[in-house]
Amino acid sequence: MSKIYLILLLIVLLAATKVSGQVQKVWLHGQVVRQSDSRPIPLAQLASFKMKNVFAADSSGQFKVILDNNDSIKVFALGFEPIIIHLDSLNVDADRMYSFALHQISYQIEQVDVNVSKHYMDYTDKLKAIRKKQEEIDLMLPADIKLGRKPEIAVDLLPTYSRKPPVLAAIFQPANVLYYYTSKSEKQKRQMLKLLQYEKQRQLMTLDMLEAVSGLSDEELQAFMMYCNAHIKFDKKDTELSVKYKVIDLFNDYKEGK
Protein backbone atom coordinates (compact mmCIF):
# COMPACT_ATOMS: atom_id res chain seq x y z
CA MET A 1 0.00 0.00 0.00
CA SER A 2 2.85 2.32 0.86
CA LYS A 3 4.36 1.66 -2.54
CA ILE A 4 1.15 2.82 -4.21
CA TYR A 5 1.19 6.09 -2.23
CA LEU A 6 4.83 6.59 -3.15
CA ILE A 7 4.10 6.09 -6.84
CA LEU A 8 1.15 8.52 -6.70
CA LEU A 9 3.33 11.08 -4.95
CA LEU A 10 5.99 10.80 -7.64
CA ILE A 11 3.36 11.25 -10.35
CA VAL A 12 2.00 14.38 -8.66
CA LEU A 13 5.50 15.83 -8.28
CA LEU A 14 6.34 15.14 -11.93
CA ALA A 15 3.08 16.75 -13.07
CA ALA A 16 3.75 19.82 -10.93
CA THR A 17 7.26 20.07 -12.33
CA LYS A 18 5.92 19.81 -15.86
CA VAL A 19 3.29 22.49 -15.24
CA SER A 20 5.85 24.80 -13.71
CA GLY A 21 8.09 24.31 -16.73
CA GLN A 22 5.40 25.27 -19.24
CA VAL A 23 5.81 28.46 -21.31
CA GLN A 24 3.72 31.37 -20.08
CA LYS A 25 2.97 34.78 -21.55
CA VAL A 26 4.22 37.78 -19.57
CA TRP A 27 3.75 41.55 -19.82
CA LEU A 28 7.12 43.26 -20.06
CA HIS A 29 6.97 46.97 -19.23
CA GLY A 30 10.28 48.77 -19.62
CA GLN A 31 12.12 51.96 -20.43
CA VAL A 32 15.34 52.38 -22.40
CA VAL A 33 17.70 54.99 -20.91
CA ARG A 34 21.23 56.29 -21.31
CA GLN A 35 23.75 54.59 -19.10
CA SER A 36 25.56 57.86 -18.42
CA ASP A 37 22.72 60.04 -17.12
CA SER A 38 19.59 57.79 -17.12
CA ARG A 39 17.88 60.04 -19.64
CA PRO A 40 15.31 58.22 -21.82
CA ILE A 41 16.22 57.21 -25.35
CA PRO A 42 13.25 57.99 -27.61
CA LEU A 43 12.17 55.47 -30.26
CA ALA A 44 14.57 52.77 -29.06
CA GLN A 45 13.84 49.25 -30.33
CA LEU A 46 13.77 45.72 -28.96
CA ALA A 47 13.78 42.48 -30.92
CA SER A 48 12.33 39.15 -29.78
CA PHE A 49 14.55 36.21 -30.70
CA LYS A 50 11.70 33.72 -30.29
CA MET A 51 8.89 35.67 -31.96
CA LYS A 52 11.28 37.23 -34.50
CA ASN A 53 9.51 40.56 -34.14
CA VAL A 54 10.83 44.06 -33.57
CA PHE A 55 9.04 46.54 -31.29
CA ALA A 56 9.62 50.28 -30.95
CA ALA A 57 9.53 52.37 -27.79
CA ASP A 58 7.66 55.67 -27.63
CA SER A 59 9.11 59.18 -27.45
CA SER A 60 9.91 58.69 -23.76
CA GLY A 61 11.72 55.39 -24.38
CA GLN A 62 8.95 53.28 -22.80
CA PHE A 63 7.42 50.10 -24.19
CA LYS A 64 4.98 47.40 -23.09
CA VAL A 65 4.87 44.07 -24.93
CA ILE A 66 3.64 40.51 -24.39
CA LEU A 67 6.38 37.88 -24.66
CA ASP A 68 7.03 34.28 -23.67
CA ASN A 69 8.63 34.01 -20.25
CA ASN A 70 11.56 32.04 -21.72
CA ASP A 71 12.19 34.47 -24.58
CA SER A 72 15.30 36.60 -25.07
CA ILE A 73 15.28 40.18 -26.31
CA LYS A 74 17.83 42.50 -27.85
CA VAL A 75 17.51 46.17 -26.88
CA PHE A 76 19.18 48.64 -29.24
CA ALA A 77 19.12 52.22 -30.50
CA LEU A 78 21.06 54.23 -33.04
CA GLY A 79 24.36 55.37 -31.56
CA PHE A 80 24.27 52.94 -28.59
CA GLU A 81 25.71 49.51 -27.87
CA PRO A 82 22.94 46.85 -27.90
CA ILE A 83 22.30 44.52 -24.97
CA ILE A 84 20.68 41.06 -24.79
CA ILE A 85 18.33 40.16 -21.94
CA HIS A 86 17.04 36.67 -21.04
CA LEU A 87 13.54 37.04 -19.59
CA ASP A 88 13.75 33.93 -17.43
CA SER A 89 16.48 35.68 -15.46
CA LEU A 90 14.22 38.66 -14.77
CA ASN A 91 11.24 36.81 -13.28
CA VAL A 92 9.09 39.36 -15.06
CA ASP A 93 6.53 41.18 -12.91
CA ALA A 94 3.74 42.85 -14.90
CA ASP A 95 3.35 45.60 -12.28
CA ARG A 96 6.98 46.64 -12.47
CA MET A 97 8.74 48.83 -15.03
CA TYR A 98 12.23 47.60 -15.87
CA SER A 99 15.01 49.95 -16.88
CA PHE A 100 17.39 48.99 -19.68
CA ALA A 101 20.52 51.16 -19.81
CA LEU A 102 22.49 51.46 -23.05
CA HIS A 103 26.04 52.72 -23.38
CA GLN A 104 26.46 55.52 -25.92
CA ILE A 105 29.02 54.93 -28.64
CA SER A 106 31.47 57.68 -29.57
CA TYR A 107 33.89 57.61 -32.46
CA GLN A 108 37.04 59.62 -32.99
CA ILE A 109 37.40 61.06 -36.47
CA GLU A 110 40.17 62.96 -38.14
CA GLN A 111 40.14 66.72 -38.48
CA VAL A 112 37.63 68.04 -40.99
CA ASP A 113 38.22 71.38 -42.70
CA VAL A 114 35.14 73.22 -43.95
CA ASN A 115 35.81 75.77 -46.66
CA VAL A 116 32.99 78.24 -46.09
CA SER A 117 34.05 80.64 -48.81
CA LYS A 118 34.08 77.88 -51.45
CA HIS A 119 30.52 76.82 -50.66
CA TYR A 120 29.43 80.46 -50.62
CA MET A 121 30.96 81.09 -54.03
CA ASP A 122 29.33 77.95 -55.45
CA TYR A 123 25.98 79.14 -54.10
CA THR A 124 26.35 82.65 -55.55
CA ASP A 125 27.39 81.23 -58.94
CA LYS A 126 24.30 79.02 -59.03
CA LEU A 127 22.12 81.95 -58.00
CA LYS A 128 23.55 84.10 -60.79
CA ALA A 129 22.93 81.32 -63.31
CA ILE A 130 19.30 81.00 -62.19
CA ARG A 131 18.73 84.75 -62.46
CA LYS A 132 20.33 84.84 -65.89
CA LYS A 133 18.08 82.01 -67.05
CA GLN A 134 15.03 83.88 -65.75
CA GLU A 135 16.05 86.93 -67.78
CA GLU A 136 16.17 84.80 -70.93
CA ILE A 137 12.48 83.86 -70.79
CA ASP A 138 10.95 83.48 -74.25
CA LEU A 139 8.45 86.29 -74.85
CA MET A 140 6.32 84.00 -77.10
CA LEU A 141 5.92 86.79 -79.68
CA PRO A 142 4.89 86.15 -83.31
CA ALA A 143 7.76 85.15 -85.58
CA ASP A 144 7.25 88.13 -87.92
CA ILE A 145 7.77 90.75 -85.19
CA LYS A 146 11.13 92.45 -85.64
CA LEU A 147 12.55 93.64 -82.35
CA GLY A 148 14.87 96.62 -82.17
CA ARG A 149 13.93 98.11 -85.55
CA LYS A 150 13.74 101.84 -86.15
CA PRO A 151 10.19 103.15 -85.52
CA GLU A 152 8.20 104.52 -88.43
CA ILE A 153 7.46 107.75 -86.54
CA ALA A 154 9.61 109.71 -84.12
CA VAL A 155 9.53 108.38 -80.57
CA ASP A 156 7.95 111.52 -79.14
CA LEU A 157 5.05 111.16 -81.59
CA LEU A 158 4.37 107.45 -80.98
CA PRO A 159 0.99 106.73 -79.38
CA THR A 160 0.73 105.41 -75.86
CA TYR A 161 -2.67 103.78 -76.31
CA SER A 162 -3.18 100.36 -74.76
CA ARG A 163 -6.71 100.24 -76.24
CA LYS A 164 -8.71 101.90 -79.01
CA PRO A 165 -8.08 105.69 -78.87
CA PRO A 166 -11.01 107.96 -77.96
CA VAL A 167 -12.75 110.16 -80.55
CA LEU A 168 -11.24 113.39 -79.19
CA ALA A 169 -7.76 111.96 -79.83
CA ALA A 170 -8.36 112.48 -83.58
CA ILE A 171 -8.49 116.24 -82.89
CA PHE A 172 -5.69 116.65 -80.38
CA GLN A 173 -3.38 113.81 -81.52
CA PRO A 174 -4.19 113.06 -85.16
CA ALA A 175 -0.73 111.64 -85.90
CA ASN A 176 -1.04 109.17 -83.05
CA VAL A 177 -4.51 108.05 -84.14
CA LEU A 178 -3.33 107.64 -87.73
CA TYR A 179 -0.36 105.60 -86.55
CA TYR A 180 -2.64 103.42 -84.39
CA TYR A 181 -4.84 102.44 -87.35
CA THR A 182 -2.20 102.21 -90.12
CA SER A 183 0.95 100.88 -88.44
CA LYS A 184 1.64 97.19 -89.05
CA SER A 185 3.28 96.78 -85.64
CA GLU A 186 0.26 98.33 -83.92
CA LYS A 187 -2.03 95.89 -85.72
CA GLN A 188 0.16 93.02 -84.61
CA LYS A 189 0.13 94.33 -81.06
CA ARG A 190 -3.66 94.59 -81.06
CA GLN A 191 -3.95 91.07 -82.43
CA MET A 192 -1.61 89.83 -79.72
CA LEU A 193 -3.61 91.60 -76.99
CA LYS A 194 -6.83 90.06 -78.31
CA LEU A 195 -5.20 86.65 -78.39
CA LEU A 196 -3.94 87.00 -74.84
CA GLN A 197 -7.36 88.20 -73.66
CA TYR A 198 -9.07 85.26 -75.38
CA GLU A 199 -6.60 82.80 -73.88
CA LYS A 200 -7.13 84.26 -70.42
CA GLN A 201 -10.90 83.88 -70.77
CA ARG A 202 -10.60 80.41 -72.30
CA GLN A 203 -8.65 79.25 -69.23
CA LEU A 204 -11.79 79.90 -67.18
CA MET A 205 -13.43 77.02 -69.09
CA THR A 206 -11.55 74.15 -67.48
CA LEU A 207 -11.90 70.44 -68.17
CA ASP A 208 -13.16 69.93 -64.61
CA MET A 209 -15.92 72.47 -65.25
CA LEU A 210 -16.98 70.70 -68.45
CA GLU A 211 -17.01 67.35 -66.68
CA ALA A 212 -19.03 68.71 -63.74
CA VAL A 213 -21.63 70.35 -66.00
CA SER A 214 -22.02 67.51 -68.51
CA GLY A 215 -21.26 64.40 -66.46
CA LEU A 216 -19.39 63.06 -69.51
CA SER A 217 -16.01 61.38 -69.54
CA ASP A 218 -13.26 60.12 -71.84
CA GLU A 219 -14.06 60.48 -75.56
CA GLU A 220 -17.54 61.94 -74.99
CA LEU A 221 -16.04 64.67 -72.81
CA GLN A 222 -13.39 65.41 -75.45
CA ALA A 223 -16.10 65.73 -78.11
CA PHE A 224 -18.09 68.14 -75.93
CA MET A 225 -14.96 70.20 -75.24
CA MET A 226 -14.35 70.56 -78.99
CA TYR A 227 -17.99 71.64 -79.39
CA CYS A 228 -17.55 74.30 -76.69
CA ASN A 229 -14.32 75.60 -78.23
CA ALA A 230 -16.10 76.01 -81.56
CA HIS A 231 -19.29 77.66 -80.28
CA ILE A 232 -18.55 79.54 -77.07
CA LYS A 233 -18.34 83.34 -77.26
CA PHE A 234 -16.43 85.14 -74.56
CA ASP A 235 -16.98 88.65 -73.28
CA LYS A 236 -14.29 90.81 -71.69
CA LYS A 237 -16.39 90.99 -68.52
CA ASP A 238 -16.74 87.21 -68.23
CA THR A 239 -16.08 85.55 -64.88
CA GLU A 240 -15.79 81.90 -63.96
CA LEU A 241 -19.49 81.85 -63.04
CA SER A 242 -20.66 83.48 -66.27
CA VAL A 243 -18.52 81.08 -68.30
CA LYS A 244 -20.09 78.16 -66.42
CA TYR A 245 -23.59 79.39 -67.35
CA LYS A 246 -22.50 79.60 -70.99
CA VAL A 247 -21.20 76.03 -70.81
CA ILE A 248 -24.56 74.88 -69.39
CA ASP A 249 -26.40 76.53 -72.30
CA LEU A 250 -23.98 74.95 -74.77
CA PHE A 251 -24.50 71.54 -73.21
CA ASN A 252 -28.26 71.85 -73.63
CA ASP A 253 -27.73 72.77 -77.30
CA TYR A 254 -25.23 69.92 -77.62
CA LYS A 255 -27.75 67.37 -76.32
CA GLU A 256 -30.50 68.64 -78.60
CA GLY A 257 -28.23 68.50 -81.63
CA LYS A 258 -27.23 64.87 -81.09
- Quick check: 29 and 67 in contact, CB under 8 A? no
Encode pLDDT of 103-162 as tens digits: 999 877 777 666 655 566 676 777 777 777 665 555 555 555 555 555 444 444 444 545
The predicted pLDDT at position 225 comes to 86
DSSP 98: E
In the structure, what pLDDT confidence band is assigned to residue 63 with cuts at 50, 70 and 90? Answer: very high
Q: Say how far apart CA 63 and CA 30 lie, in whole Å.
A: 6
List, in sequence order, every residue forming a beta bridge with 55; answer none if it has no partner: 46
Percent of the chain exceeding pLDDT 90 equals 24
The predicted pLDDT at position 147 comes to 53
Tell how strand 45-48 and strand 25-34 pair up: unpaired
Encode pLDDT of 214-255 as tens digits: 888 888 888 888 888 888 888 778 888 888 888 899 899 888
Report for 9-18, 58-67, 108-117: range of highest mean pLDDT = 58-67
The predicted pLDDT at position 172 comes to 46
Spell out a b/e string for 148-187, using b for 16 or more CB atoms within 10 Å of the CB, else e.
eeeeeeeeeebbebeeebeeeeeeebeebbebbeebeebe
Greater pLDDT, 42 or 166: 42
Q: Say how far apart CA 41 and CA 60 lie, in whole Å.
A: 7
- Cβ neighbours around 247 below 10 Å, total: 23
pLDDT averaged over every residue in the chain: 76
List, in sequence order, every residue forming a beta bridge with 56; answer none if it has no partner: 45
Report for 62-71, 130-139, 174-183: range of highest mean pLDDT = 62-71
Tell me the pTM: 0.38
Position 199 pLDDT exceeds 80 = no
What mean pLDDT comes out for the span 200-211?
82
249: left (phi over 0), alpha (psi -120 to 50) or beta: alpha
**All domains of the chain, ordered by start, with CATH?**
23-102 (2.60.40.10), 155-199 (no CATH), 204-257 (no CATH)
Greater pLDDT, 92 or 145: 92
Q: Say how far apart CA 85 and CA 98 lie, in whole Å.
A: 11
Strand, helix or coil at 194?
helix
Rg (CA), the chain: 42
